[in-house]
Amino acid sequence: MKPALTIRPAAPRAPTARSAFTLAEIMTAMGLFSLVVIGVVYAQLFGMRMFNITSTRLSAGDSGRKVLNRVRDDVRSGKVLYVGNGDSTHFTNITLNNLRQGNALQIHPTTDTNVFIRYYLDTTGQRLMRVASGSDQVQLVAPYLTNRIAFIAEDYAGHTLTNDQNNRVIRMELDFYQWEFPVARVGVGAYYDYYHLQTRMTRRTIE
């Protein structure tokens, strides 16, 4: 015969204390979280700033290459080249025994001096302009320029010429004072607003 099952009531458990963060722990956690958030925000701002700087430089470099390529192609296809001073309607060649440097370059595709392509610095508007004979249209090539002498005739060694030497090299220098990229800000507290372009070119066929 099985013994009778005896059920005894369980002894009441003592209430346990609930765990919680102390004030010092909460302040420490909030401080660490704030540091993480600030770090992420600064990293984002730094990334955006570097993106703008890089985009600005790439845009400026691309615009500069387009200007250099256009002038270079005209110079290479020219028959006669003159460095002097001029504007949309006049051109004056540098006189003999004076340094061949000025604000204008006149390119004659043939020996006919009535047919020409002229590049000149408009110092009033601070722009490089292009005009061709037989056309009243003046084209803007590059804006935001600060230099006044853009074209220099040199020999093969880089010395400035004082005559119209046949195998002369044309050096073009352009100093820009404003970035081309429209997103970037320029001026005090913004991005540096100056860059310099320089190239040397000559006719494709030297007689």
Q: What is the pLDDT along the chain (207 residues), one digit of tens a residue?
A: 556 566 666 566 666 666 677 888 888 889 999 999 999 999 988 888 787 767 766 766 777 788 888 899 999 988 889 999 999 999 999 988 999 999 999 999 988 889 999 999 998 888 899 999 988 889 999 888 888 899 999 998 889 999 887 788 999 998 887 654 445 554 455 555 677 888 899 887 665
* Strand ranges, E, within 9-109: 80-86, 91-93, 101-102, 104-108
Structure-token pair, residue 157: 């060694």
Question: Rounded to an integer, what distance in angstroms lies between the CA atom of residue 122 and that of residue 135?
Answer: 18
CA distances from 153 to 21, 22, 158, 184 (A): 80, 81, 9, 36
- Residue 53 CB partners (closer than 8 Å, separation 6+): 184, 191
Whether pTM > 0.85 for this model: the answer is no
**Closest by CA position to 154, among listed 98, 85, 200, 108:** 200
Domains of the chain, by residue range, sit at: 32-201
CB under 8 A, 24+ apart: contacts of 39-45: none
